[in-house]
Amino acid sequence: MFMEQMDLFEIQHNEDRVAPLAERMRPRTLDEFLGQSKIVGEGSLLRRAIAADKLGSCIFFGPPGSGKTTLANIIAATTNAHFVKLNAVTSGVADAKKVIEEAKDRLRMYGKRTYLLLDECHRWNKAQSDSVLQAIEQGYIIFIGSTTENPFVSMTRAIVSRCRVFSFSRLSDKDIELGLRRAVADKDRGLGNMNVEVSDKAISHIAWASGGDLRTALNALELAALTT
């Protein structure tokens, strides 16, 4: 049993090492989270709800690389609830119904709530969205949708009306520069063990060229480090 656990740990460790830099450097706590101070800054509604484990159904709307999925993962790591992740491109009504039935059993038997994280939630059609409405209303699941499209235009009104919408902004160059410097220095998840030297001018240029997308900036940094 011990050897099996060690083997699983080694597999996970190897997977972490081969993952792209942007994935390895994904913030794990609110203190590591970059930008969106209006949403998750000290004293904000969302931060208080996360800290109290009282977050209700919501939709994170904003441009790519602005932290929507990262924040959902942080919530998953800090709450006592159970989390299920789906992608709207590959999931349908059957997947949603399975999550709901399991959530009902989990709540009845263990008193444990279930969060449903749905990436690209704007891709669900009306039938798919309607399949979770009753479960949201009755509290069997707490819905967190992530989308780059305006939910008031791209999603059905019924599900949007049952969620609080949080609008994410593009990250500032300053935020992205901080993320890049963290990646350069981090010896556990970043490039710290490569002894990479990056000039301030290069950091500023990558941040400017990323267009507010931290994922793009980290991908550029990793490519530069691996090919120089």
Q: What is the value of pTM for the model shown? A: 0.81
List pLDDT tens digits, range 55-82. 899 999 999 989 998 998 888 888 888 9
| End position of a domain, from candidates 150, 167, 184 | 167
- 48 occurs within a structural domain: yes
List pLDDT tens digits, range 180-213. 999 999 999 999 999 888 999 999 999 999 999 9
Mean pLDDT along residues 6-12: 47
CA–chain centroid gap for 118, Å, is: 10
How high is the pLDDT of residue 135? 92
Do residue 220 and residue 120 come from a single domain?
A: no
Residue with the larger pLDDT of the pair 153 and 14: 153
Closest CA to 183 of 223, 221, 216, 227: 221
Mean pLDDT along residues 33-42: 90
Q: Which domain holds residue 196?
A: 173-227
Give helix 126-138 / helix 93-110 axis angle, nearest 10°. Answer: 10
The enclosing domain of 140 has a CATH number of 3.40.50.300
Number of domains the chain contains? 2
| Whether 99 contacts 67, CB under 8 Å | no
- Band (9; pLDDT cuts 50, 70, 90): very low
Sheet order of strands, 58-61 included: 82-87, 114-119, 141-147, 58-61, 164-167
Do residue 59 and residue 163 come from a single domain?
A: yes
Closest CA to 29 of 99, 79, 81, 65: 79
| End position of a domain, from candidates 125, 150, 167 | 167
Do residue 91 and residue 143 come from a single domain?
A: yes
